[in-house]
Amino acid sequence: MSASESSLRVLITGAGSGLGRALAQRYAQRGARVCCVDRDLARAEETQRGLTGQGHLALHADVALDASMQALHEAVVQAWGGIDLLFNNAGIASGGAMVATTMEEWEHVIDINLLGVVRGCRLFLPGMLAQKQGKIINTASFAGLASAPNMMTYGVSKAAVVALSDQLRAEVLDQGVQVSVICPAFFQTNLLQSWQGDARMRKFGEKMMGNAVDTLDEVADRVVDAVRRGVFLIMPTRREPGRWRLKRWAPGLYFRMVRSMARKLAGAG
């Protein structure tokens, strides 16, 4: 990391565990100041204590609450004057078919996975525009690019994050702000601890994570490198670029794979 990069102010939501914690560690190792944000303050503080260097913060915020995010913004501006990198990383896992998903479940997942990103962007983008530089990195999922059975709320919420990121990139293209979106598939992390919905899909997710070829450390390293290079669509798990090409170039074949997966899940029920 260059001298200018070593002075970065980095804010990461969902920094209490998983990818958020791994990213915090990597930016701290490169000399950046990191603000670790989580709705579980104890976990954010645990991440902060494990970081190298000085000047880091651990703050509580619930991305689903306007007032909580507003308070976070005010605290960070007071402490640092602003930020250079924003990772809208907080989210929850969910699964279930359309007819089996309640409106309360829809609202809960959308409020966190999509509107949590919206809240982060709305609050911290003005400061980046004023300083004419910054990077916003939103965590979506490969499920937001390619459909999978019984992941209705999760897939829709993550597809919306991809669309939001693409729209925002076009909006700030010439104003010094870089936008990226992270779209991993299954890798070795603890995302399923936040699972909402269909128990069969949770078991399927556990199996897929158990068979994942990508470790958390590998995914975090690839994300940091891609952000440095200005990549918009970041697919940090190894199999997904090929699957993404398959869906675009041979959609019929891809959807036969999806249909086969749906039948297996139906049989498991």
Domain harbouring 29, CATH code: 3.40.50.720
pLDDT at residue 198, as a whole number: 58
Residue 126 in domain: yes
Residue 236 in domain: yes
Residue 154 bears catalytic tag: yes
State which of 98-107, 159-168, 181-190, 195-204 shows the largest mean pLDDT: 159-168
Question: Which one of 27, 87, 154, 186 is the catalytic residue?
Answer: 154
Q: Which residue has the higher pLDDT, 98 or 118?
A: 118
Q: Number of folded domains in the chain?
A: 1
Residue 227 in domain: yes
pLDDT in tens, 192-218: 555 555 566 656 555 555 566 789 999
pLDDT at residue 3, as a whole number: 38
Beta-bridge partners for 212 = none
- C-alpha 138/C-alpha 141 separation (Å) is 10
Which residue has 């400061």 as its token pair?
A: 127
Residue 253 in domain: no
pLDDT at residue 148, as a whole number: 77
Average pLDDT of the chain?
A: 89
Residue 176 in domain: yes
pLDDT band at 150 (very low <50, low <70, confident <90, very high): confident
Instruction: Identify the CA nearest to 14 among candidates 32, 31, 36.
Output: 36
Strands (DSSP E) along 120-212, which ranges?
A: 134-139, 177-182, 196-197
The stretch 88-96 carries a mean pLDDT of 91
- Write out the residue range of the structural domain in which residue 87 sits: 5-241
Residue 163 in domain: yes
Q: Is residue 1's pLDDT more than 50?
A: no
- C-alpha 165/C-alpha 121 separation (Å) is 10
Phi then psi dihedrals of residue 193, to 5 deg:
-65, -25
- Around Cβ 88, how many Cβ atoms within 10 Å? 28
Residue 252 in domain: no
Residue 92 in domain: yes
